[in-house]
Amino acid sequence: IMTAGINSQDKCIPCVAGKYFEHANQQNDFCVTCSAGKSVSTQGSNAADDCVACAVGKYSSGSDTACIDCVAG
């Protein structure tokens, strides 16, 4: 994401793992969490397509930034 820096210089700050920033489709400068059942393991993602399905035995609610182990049962 771009933020206003000191002396009006812009700085690019990468999104954390689990989030992405797709400037062309966003009106706000903030990182978006991958949709439910998906996550991205690296920081700096810039497209929803970078979000991949959680592995078998894991889940993501859509507000989680990482896939989480399912409880036994």
Task: Read off the pLDDT of residues 2-33 as tens digits, 9 standing for 90 and up.
Answer: 444 455 456 677 888 888 887 655 566 688 88
pLDDT at 52 over 90: yes
Q: Looking at residue 4, what is its pLDDT?
A: 47
CA 32 from chain centre, in angstroms, equals 5
13, 3 in Cβ contact below 8 A? yes
This prediction has a pTM of 0.69
Q: Looking at residue 26, what is its pLDDT?
A: 52
* Average pLDDT of span 33-40: 91
